[in-house]
Chain A
Amino acid sequence: MCTVSERIKNLKELLFKNKREISLERARLYTESYKNTEGQPAILRRAKATAHILNNVQIVINDGELIAGGRTVKPRSGIASPEMSPYWIYDELDTLATRPQDQFYISEEDKEFFRNELFPFWKDKSLKDLVNSRLPNNVKNAQKQRIIKLNQTDKGQGHIIPSFDKVLNKGLGYMIDEVKEKMKKNPNNNFYKAALITLEATQNHIERYGKLARDMALNEKNQNRKKELLEISRISYKISKYKPDTFYEALQLFWYINIALQYESNASSISPGRFDQYMYPFYKKDIENGLDIEFAKELLRCLWLKMNDVVLLRSQESAKYFAGFPTGYTIILGGLDRNGRDAVNELSYLILDTYGDIKLPQPNLGVRINEKTPREFLIKTIETIRLGTGIPQVFNDEVIIPAYLNRGVSLEDARDYAVVGCVELSIPGKTYGLHDIALFNLLKVMEVTLKESNGNFNSYNELINAIKKNINKYVKDMIEGSNVVDQAHREFAPTPLLSCFVENALKTGMDITSGGAKYNFSGVQGIGVANLSDSLYIIKKAVFEDKEITLPELVKILNNNYKDNEIIRQKFINKYPKYGNDIDDVDYCGSEILSHYCKEVEKYKNIRGGFFQPGSYTVSAHIPLGEAVGATPDGRLSGEQLADGGLSPMVGMDKNGPTAVLKSVSKIDTYLISNGSLLNVKFNPSVLEGIEGIRKFIGFLQSFMRLKLQHIQFNIVSAETLRDAQKHPEKYKNLVVRVAGYSAIFIELNKSIQDDIINRTEHIL
């Protein structure tokens, strides 16, 4: 393992030294600008507000930094965008610092400023107000019943991969000239005007760093640091106009663009995409010219730390769905290139290496694998997974590329796919995908269907058909609602700066919110396939085949949350096979419903001329989505969580090991869930031990690939988990541990041996 430099150690410490705060600077500047632009078109107001921020926001270069650019002066501060919704912050001002998840400190002074200045200005004028005034009642009802959940109703649009490729190879100055050229021919096009305002402000923002670095250098006593600051200054001035020529310059421009985009949208997941691809030419040229590889690595580490500096402030409710403020600097490595060749390069390895030196939540690394992936790269991937942070996650080209072809994407673009946010699939630099516009709770639809008729169905098929009919009905509501949100963003919150980095927008003269992107999807997630499989199978078997109970009786028991029926509940949990164990009869129950949902969703068009596409992942939303669903036939009590991830089996129900889990998931038509899916698999660290462990793991990943699963990520079971398993054995029935020359079920071992294993596990980690 590499020893991390003093520089990195200090910068890492700086990130976590103070408690997280909220900075209202962006909100103040944005609002200031808005007061001066009353009556102008929305896109110009947005552009001017963004420019006002970029021109005036306080900037800082921290001691030791090689990559400059920060969203806030204090590290890891949240920033607010009251224009999207002033309400939740207003309501939560006094609890932000103490809420259960993602706390942020806010000063009394700032609270007053928010209450007296920001809130009164934005009240009744925010995006949220616009959305609410337009949502029809049927959509509101579906939301209220918590069958659907619309997102981005109170925050900026993120979940996009800008075309870094273009700005790195052409430079900002070129892009500005391009816009000016367009303006000559289209003098009345407001998008071009807005694009120019924001691009020039970005340029100015970067120059401000150039000046700051120079000023700091003048006063710097340490000669080494002085040199570094002068270099930052030189680079900043250069890349504010010209294209970068070196790896260092390219990294710096990449980061400045990221920061500028953050000011515009304050949105989750403006993701880097295929960083190892577009950065490689710069890296390669530098190395050939004698750049010290250690310096290249140090630059990367500095950049990774920067990515942890940007945290997203969410409402208490939103933090439940996305706990731990994921900001989604999602980088995807390897895979195929546009010509179908293996795309792994030295930089792909270097990124995994330097990540291992940092081991923080960002960048959220992923690896694309396919039949051509080099063995060495697979091994490097596994070695990084073995570090135990759950990074990198793994994506499967063999299914994702065909899935995109099925969505009308060209072969070259499909091969170029990347990942945005968590697991959302996207064609980088070409897509405005609204990947997270809504969630659809399939399990809740089952519950509603059962209750509507009190369980009066004559056959299993009759029930399934009723569920499908209800899915159709609520999908329609979800589409309507999603399109309302989409339209509201277009009218109220266009993103001219972001649009400059999306293919076709500059060509067509349309903001991406108006359909300026090459690909225009809306992604909607169908949730609950595991609990559906388990529940429907019990209905099929216990009610209609074995006639152990009638459906109306069962519905009554569910309505009473299994009260006085614990024995029946235990039977449902323990005596019927469950999803995740590779049993066709069970697995197909849920996959049939999910496929139906997908087929229904893909019929609909959005307002930008693109189509809706389904996905199936929850991130951490399986907890709040579970809160919305009453007791279910799988033995789940009212309000209990759903299965995690999206496609994972229900907690503790997969008893036949990970191969059976992969097989169960493979019965889902993964080609249809082209917006993305998520599978969590837990491993004891011993599984990955030594060269033999790696060898078996390679095979495991290859099988994952051949089974055409889209995504997998690994939890390496910690001692903490094992201790919890001692306290709550009923929750860990499937936890297999390595004991000596054999493996055993953890809870069946006695305490002293369990302790022994716990201690050993800590050694391994």
Chain B
Amino acid sequence: MMKKAIIFNIQRYSIHDGGGIRTLIFFKGCPLRCPWCSNPESQSFKPEIIRRESLCIKCSSSSCFACTNTPEQCPTGAIEKVGKEMDVNEVLKEIKKDIIFYDSTGGGVTLSGGEPLSQGEFAIELLEKLKNLGIDTAIETTGFSKWEILDKMSNHLDRILFDLKIMNKEKSIKIINADIDLIKDNFKKLVKKRINIIPRIPLIPKYTMDDENIEAIINFILSQGIKEVHILPYHQYGISKYKSLGKKYILKSLIPPSSEDVERIKEKMTDAGLYVVVGGK
């Protein structure tokens, strides 16, 4: 039986996530619960319904949110099911469509999510097939999984974009539901395996930007001999997605960091000897 995974989007022509023109595979479901998450539709492992008022033509109801139509019945796609079970070959078929563009731009495939590690067996099989086709592979991950899965997966990865969020053990568990010791442990093991790994730090005011946390991150990265880091400033562009999922966005009043704040942290990291990329191209 072919392994299946639940995928919520396959985005072709992604040019800002890793080198070249890439296809992004978004796995649905994540064990973490970061309050600032900009992809709320990626959290649950089950398909969900989203409602987009802007596309609704009010054919059956005065509001998209009150409508009883199923996604199949909705004529405009305003009501849409997010998340689809796909087997490896189905995903592969979509990926292969852009091989010519990967080849000419140094692009490839990036697994994203959600958390691809949570559907590890599928991801490993997919990555293995991609490497057999000579396609460049990368993953965006929280690093939060059993080592065995990450270990196997890393054998087929050219690059790992590895999130480091909250370094304090208690806070990490409390706020984002992740055991930072496990994550750090996985990080170290990957480094030891000489896997190409790029730490990515979300800059979230009140959560990750305090001096203590930033210093802990810098120290950890340096201790692992890593030289490059990507920082991703907080934004609120995911708010509308919360609304369309009928979810509440608890950080509504959180103000995104000013460019001075971002610059300050960039400087701090640069002074410590790191090469810093803002935005993570």
A residues engaging B (CB < 8 A)?
566-568, 570-571, 573-575, 582, 656-660, 663, 687, 692, 695-696, 698-700, 702-703, 706-707, 729-730, 733, 738-744, 747-750, 753
B96 to chain A, nearest CB (A): 11
A658 to chain B, nearest CB (A): 6
Do the beta carbons of A742 and B13 come within 8 Å of each other? no
Residue numbers in A under 8 Å from B38 (CB-CB)? 742
Residue B241 lies at the interface, judged by CB distance under 8 Å to chain A: yes
Give the residue of A574, A663, A695, A742 whose beta carbon is less than 8 angstroms from that of B76.
A574
- 0/1 interface trace, chain B 250-281, chain A, CB 8 Å (1 if under): 00000000000000000000000000001111
Do the beta carbons of B12 and A750 come within 8 Å of each other? no
The answer to whether residues A748 and B241 also contact, given A663-B97, A699-B101, A738-B16 and a CB cut-off of 8 A, is: yes
B residues engaging A (CB < 8 A)?
11-17, 20-21, 38, 52, 54-55, 57, 59, 75-77, 97-98, 100-101, 103-107, 232-233, 235-237, 239-241, 278-281
B92 to chain A, nearest CB (A): 15
Give the residue of B21, B106, B239 whose beta carbon is less than 8 angstroms from that of A750.
B239
| Complex CA–CA separation, A687 to B15 (angstroms) | 8
- 14 inter-chain pairs at a CB distance below 8 angstroms, sorted by A residue, are A570-B75, A574-B75, A657-B11, A663-B98, A696-B105, A698-B105, A699-B20, A703-B101, A703-B105, A706-B104, A741-B16, A741-B235, A744-B237, A748-B54
A-B contact sample (8 more), CB < 8 A, given A659-B98, A741-B233, A753-B237: A657-B11, A659-B21, A663-B97, A729-B55, A741-B278, A742-B237, A744-B237, A749-B240
Do the beta carbons of A695 and B105 come within 8 Å of each other? yes
Measured CB to CB, the nearest residue on chain A to B99 is A703
Chief secondary structure at chain A's binding surface: helix
Do the beta carbons of A575 and B52 come within 8 Å of each other? no
Do the beta carbons of B279 and A741 come within 8 Å of each other? yes
Residue numbers in A under 8 Å from B241 (CB-CB)? 748
Do the beta carbons of A740 and B237 come within 8 Å of each other? yes
Do the beta carbons of B57 and A566 come within 8 Å of each other? yes
Residue numbers in B under 8 Å from A698 (CB-CB)? 104-105
A408 to chain B, nearest CB (A): 31
Measured CB to CB, the nearest residue on chain B to A741 is B279
Measured CB to CB, the nearest residue on chain B to A740 is B235
Residue numbers in B under 8 Å from A566 (CB-CB)? 57, 59
A250 to chain B, nearest CB (A): 38
Do the beta carbons of B97 and A582 come within 8 Å of each other? yes
Do the beta carbons of A656 and B75 come within 8 Å of each other? no
| Complex CA–CA separation, A730 to B55 (angstroms) | 7
Chief secondary structure at chain B's binding surface: loop
The answer to whether residues A660 and B12 also contact, given A566-B57, A699-B21, A699-B106 and a CB cut-off of 8 A, is: yes
Measured CB to CB, the nearest residue on chain B to A699 is B105
A534 to chain B, nearest CB (A): 16
Do the beta carbons of B101 and A700 come within 8 Å of each other? yes
B62 to chain A, nearest CB (A): 16
Do the beta carbons of B75 and A696 come within 8 Å of each other? no
Residue numbers in B under 8 Å from A687 (CB-CB)? 15
Do the beta carbons of A742 and B17 come within 8 Å of each other? yes
| Complex CA–CA separation, A567 to B97 (angstroms) | 33
| Complex CA–CA separation, A692 to B14 (angstroms) | 13
B86 to chain A, nearest CB (A): 16
Residue numbers in B under 8 Å from A696 (CB-CB)? 15, 20-21, 105
Measured CB to CB, the nearest residue on chain B to A570 is B75
| Complex CA–CA separation, A753 to B38 (angstroms) | 14
Residue numbers in B under 8 Å from A738 (CB-CB)? 16
Do the beta carbons of A657 and B12 come within 8 Å of each other? yes
Do the beta carbons of B100 and A707 come within 8 Å of each other? yes
Do the beta carbons of B52 and A748 come within 8 Å of each other? yes
Residue numbers in B under 8 Å from A570 (CB-CB)? 57, 59, 75-76
Do the beta carbons of B237 and A657 come within 8 Å of each other? no
Measured CB to CB, the nearest residue on chain B to A567 is B75
B268 to chain A, nearest CB (A): 19
Do the beta carbons of B100 and A703 come within 8 Å of each other? yes
Measured CB to CB, the nearest residue on chain A to B13 is A657
Residue numbers in A under 8 Å from B11 (CB-CB)? 657
Residue numbers in A under 8 Å from B15 (CB-CB)? 687, 696, 743
Measured CB to CB, the nearest residue on chain B to A657 is B13
Interface centre among A570, A574, A742, A748 (most CB of B within 10 A): A742
| Complex CA–CA separation, A570 to B54 (angstroms) | 14
Residue numbers in A under 8 Å from B54 (CB-CB)? 729, 747-748
Do the beta carbons of A656 and B55 come within 8 Å of each other? no
The answer to whether residues A660 and B75 also contact, given A696-B105, A739-B235, A747-B54 and a CB cut-off of 8 A, is: no
The answer to whether residues A659 and B240 also contact, given A570-B57, A741-B16 and a CB cut-off of 8 A, is: no
Give the residue of B12, B100, B236 whose beta carbon is less than 8 angstroms from that of A706.
B100
